[in-house]
Structure 1
Amino acid sequence: MTALLPRRARRLASLAEALLTPHGMDRYLELIDPMLVRREIRGLVTAVRHQTGDTVTLTIRPSRAWRGFGAGQYVRVTVEIDGVRRTRCYSPSCSQHTRDGLLELTIKADPQGLVSRYLHEQAGVGTVLGLSRPDGGFTLPTRRPHRIVLISGGSGITPVLSMLRTLVDEGHAGEIVFLQYSNTGDDVLYREELAELVARHPGLRVVHAYTHAKTGAELHGFFSAKQLTKVAPWYRDAETFVCGPKPLMDSVRELFEADELSERLHTEEFTPPALTFDTASAEGQVRFARSGHEFANSGKPLLEQAEDAGLKPEHGCRMGICFSCTQVKTSGCVRNAKTGELSEEENVEIQLCISVPVGDVEINA
């Protein structure tokens, strides 16, 4: 019967039901309007556009709990899909000095990505998203360098474009080279916006490189020392920021290591760092309570152990950033593989991808 009521009536019915049960104020405000919540950060999609066939650009108005971000940082975006909350990390592409307070996210739809495909196909004006506080150390130094090289590949453009927009808004007086790699001309993101920034900044040079096309761009083929020297012959005296696919990141990193310039290179990683685990001395049992699976501790992170046992826990980055794999540890001790810290308390949330059991452990999953 409730499902047949008009939407407004259903909302009022939910509010009346909630009033009979003690909740925090945000619970009541959420029933009236999700954007009214005071403690959690929400974002209302106000515009949607598709720059390329496999990307979506969302303009988002954050709720009043939002306090801004630093160019290059990322936010965790939460959506509800089939009744389950899913979280992924995305970097805003707008300037940190946006006057209208709006955020802009550009997301590439991964054929295997649940959240990215959902946002690409389903997000529309009026969609409400969950947002986190900004995080990440891939940021411009407080004292802006005079010479800067920004290198990006594909959707990795978002954090470095945010840096560029921020620098232009600040009236940066130095030299900037923005080198953007795309497969072909059809895959170029923010072409018009980059041209507008060139018009605003006399010291900015934007260079497009196509990796899978032999014509149409200033550069063709994959990143090389020759290409970088051609567009930024002074790169050894600059600070360089790069974000993109692993092959691009590796190529840039190898060049800077060879030139003994690693301290001048700043990167945003898309792949998990290599972690080592002591599997030889592992002991105890791991139990996933709700699924009823129990197995001997192998010494690997809980996410890998669960997958080895045939389970399919929700996960995202596999490197302790996106919090998609967070579950409640009801008992036992785990070690954070990144920090070495131990978690011995009961009924606490842990990240399966970086949590290694120390003896017997039970997970409420």
Structure 2
Amino acid sequence: MGELIKGRGSTGYLPGRFEVSVTDAVDDGWHGGEEEEFAPVLPRTQVREEVARSVISRNSSPDIGFSQSVNPYRGCEHGCSYCFARPSHAYLGLSPGLDFETKIFAKTNAPEVLRRELARPGYQVSPIALGINTDAYQPVERGLQLTRRLIEVFAETRHPFTLITKNALVTRDLDLLAPLARQNLVRVHFSVTSLDNRLSAALEPRASAPHARLRAMRALREAGVPVGAMVAPVIPWVNDSELEAVLEAVHQAGAESAGYVLLRLPHEVSPLFRDWLQNHVPDRAAHVMSTIQQLRGGKDYDASFGKRMRGQGVYADLLARRFALAVKRLGFPPRPARGLDHSLFVAPRAPSPQGELF
């Protein structure tokens, strides 16, 4: 699509699948040389406000371990080249490429809407996964603090929740997370793709470096917050050789559970990731995609439940076996010792048009 852009995972504005017209920039040679005056402008992050009508999303997918989730942001500045959520920007008429990582939508009223939804009569308590589609601790969270305010609602109502992140910013909220952990109301999971700083920077340009994630994991564990890790995604011939090393590193950092997810390439993610391969590992690009298609029934992606996370075939079976042997050797339990506590939930008072007297 284009040349590498420092700090970004995409090289251009790949049109979304719903677009009816496409605009291409063409260099007519008029400017000649490479004068600074005519150098391309690096895309800057823009944050737009979104007023949410609801924030709790529900799913019944049999291969996902939660039924409720909340995402305070659309789009993600981490810019992960492989992000399965990129196609969601196409619904907004924006590019799943650079727009996804530079045009971030912040649900500024999310804490108030969450409180309102938890106050509804008949609400059934079930752990809420915070920041699933896009990372709740991406860089814009440092200033906006939407995730922190959502955690304050969970603390106020003593509602169980989980987190998954690849940003060490999560340690900022230890003052909230540690007391909740003592009540068995929270677990934090870290996504660790590689221990190689160069590879991590290429795959996830604005996420925390691997050593920073491990350090954050240790800090949470020492504060009594249970932590887990996901090796996600596992990419054939790119980071798959690190599976055992990553599992050992997260175990030493205090992770009490571990899992993995195979690379997923739905919709526009496929051409975006193919472009990443050509820019970063051109000598392996064809081999990587050939293996992925072997895992996906000859296609770039198979969304079938039970297959989308693990794939199928010889390579998938070998990967599953390697993972099983590694977690057994390291002493990871097959699942958390106990679930989060549902019994402490106290529904917030529903807002009244007459206001509060006491």
| Fold match (TM-score > 0.5) | no
Structure with higher RCO (Cα < 8 A, 6+ apart): 2
Q: Whose strand fraction is larger, Structure 1's or Structure 2's?
A: 1
**Considering only CA atoms, is the larger Rg found in Structure 1 or Structure 2?**
1
Q: Whose helix fraction is larger, Structure 1's or Structure 2's?
A: 2
TM-score after normalising by structure 2:
0.28
